[in-house]
Amino acid sequence: MRILKLALKREVALPVLALTFASGVCVSLVIARVIWTGRFSYAFLIWNLFLAWLPLVFALLANDEYRNVPQRTWRFYGLTFAWLLFLPNATYIFTDLIHLLSRHFSFWVDLVLILSCAVTGLVLSFLSLYLMQCIVARIFGWVTSWLFIALAAGLSGFGIYLGRFLRFNSWDVLFQPVKVYQGIGRWASDPLANSTSFAFPILFGTFLFIAYVMLYGLTHLKPAVMHEMSVTARQA
């Protein structure tokens, strides 16, 4: 299977395997909760986690398409559009914390359960963003690639708003484009109608950008620094 080969390439194999392990643990925790409580109230996390993987799948395919056909074909643009369309799903799980207000087995248990899935989705988002940033950097340079990241984070924040408050799904852009257009039109006609409609996309987009910057910096630690840290730890 092509996507499996791409996911196990040397440059991405380790993070993909780590994310697969994390996803497996999250799914196991959800199933354990269902068995323990006899309720399926949090089973939706498995579906949301599946959706969180889709941006990475499209990013891997787009990256492979660009490497094989550098002149950027319609297939590459289609995969890039699909990646951007599904990107909000990767971090949407954070908004599932709202369910703690109305239904929970044990507040702290369910909090950890949702956050485990949400953090996994966040790292899935980071990996797919990084793959797409690398493509933009090759074409336009690193400065432009960071503007691209800021734009993607902002669009993701708005996409999450559309999903959580207007109840649109990513595929509605293809299957219900008129409803999506009308929903966005109503928002655009009066974005200051309430604090949520204006502040939420901005704040969530800012959160995603800051999280990406921190994860980017963390994953780019210099080997020399890590070696010094290990030497210091051994001496202590």
The DSSP H or E segment spanning 227 is: helix 223-235
pLDDT of residue 184: 85
Would you state the pLDDT for residue 180?
86
Give dist(CA 180, CA 184) in Å, integer: 6
Number of H helices and number of E strands within the chain?
10, 0
Mean pLDDT, to the nearest integer, of 32-41? 90
pLDDT at 223: 62
Helices 142-164 and 74-91 pack at an angle, to 10 degrees, of 60
pLDDT of res. 150: 97
Other beta carbons less than 10 A from residue 66's beta carbon: 21
Domain that holds residue 11: 2-222
Instruction: Give the tens place of pLDDT for each residue, 5-25.
Output: 888 888 889 999 999 999 999
Please report which confidence band the pLDDT of residue 228 belongs to, taking 50, 70 and 90 as the band edges.
Answer: low
Residue owning tokens 């359960």: 113
Q: What is the largest CA-CA distance in the chain?
A: 65
Residue 228, domain member (yes or no): no
**What's the pLDDT tens digit per position in 204-227?**
999 999 999 999 998 877 765 445
Instruction: Give the H or E element holding residue 195.
Output: helix 195-219
Q: What is the pLDDT of residue 227?
A: 52
Q: In 129-146, which positions are buried (b, 16+ CB within 10 angstroms) versus exposed (e)?
A: bbbbbbbbeeeeeeeebb
> pLDDT tens-digit profile of 119-172?
999 999 999 999 999 999 999 999 999 999 999 999 999 999 999 988 888 888
In a domain, 227, yes or no: no
CB count within 10 Å of CB 44 equals 13
Copy the structure tokens of residue 7: 């996911």
Would 231 be classed as within a structural domain? Answer: no
- Tell me the average pLDDT of the chain: 88
Q: How far apart are CA 67 and CA 115, in angstroms?
A: 35
**Measured at the alpha carbon of residue 51, what is the angle toward residues 6 and 126, in degrees to the nearest 5?**
60
What is the pLDDT, as a whole number, of residue 236?
53
Query: What's the DSSP call for residue 222?
Result: -
Helix (H) or strand (E) holding 139: helix 107-140
> Is residue 234 one of the residues assigned to a domain?
no
Please compute Rg for the chain using Cα positions.
19
pTM, two decimals, is 0.88
pLDDT digits (tens, 9 = 90+) for 60-106: 999 999 988 767 788 999 999 999 999 999 999 999 999 888 766 78
User: Which of 27 and 189 is assigned the larger pLDDT?
Assistant: 27
Give the separation between CA 165 and CA 170, rounded to whole angstroms.
14
Q: Answer left, alpha or beta for residue 49, where phi above 0 means left and psi between -120 and 50 means alpha.
A: alpha
Give the per-residue pLDDT at 145: 96
Tokens of 92: 């949407």
- Report how many domains make up the chain: 1
Q: How many CB atoms are located within 10 Å of the residue 97 CB?
A: 13
Q: What is the pLDDT of residue 226?
A: 47
Summarised one tens digit per residue, pLDDT across range 96-120 is 999 888 766 788 899 999 999 999 9
Q: Is residue 41 part of a domain?
A: yes
